[in-house]
Amino acid sequence: MAASTASANLHGRVAIVTGASRGIGREIAIHLRSLGAKLVINYTSSSTQADLLASELNAKATAETLPIAVAVNADVSNPDDVRSLFGRAEQEFGTPAHILINCAGVSDPKYPAVADTTVEDWDAMFNVNARGAFLTCREAANRLARGGGGRIILISTSVVGAALPGYAAYAASKAAVEMMGKIVAKELKGSGITVNCVAPGPVATELFFAGKSEETVQRLVDACPMGRLGQPNDITQIIGFLVSDAGQWVNGQVIRVNGGFVI
Residues labelled as active-site residues: 170
Are 132 and 104 in contact, with CB atoms under 8 Å apart?
Answer: yes
User: Order of strands, edge to edge, in the sheet holding 99-102?
Assistant: 69-73, 38-43, 14-18, 99-102, 150-155, 193-200, 254-257
Helix axes 132-143, 168-187, angle to 10 degrees: 10
Q: Label residue 102 exposed, middle or buried (CB < 10 Å: 0-12, 13-18, 19+).
A: buried
Q: How far apart are CA 20 and CA 87, in angstroms?
A: 18
257: helix, coil or strand?
strand
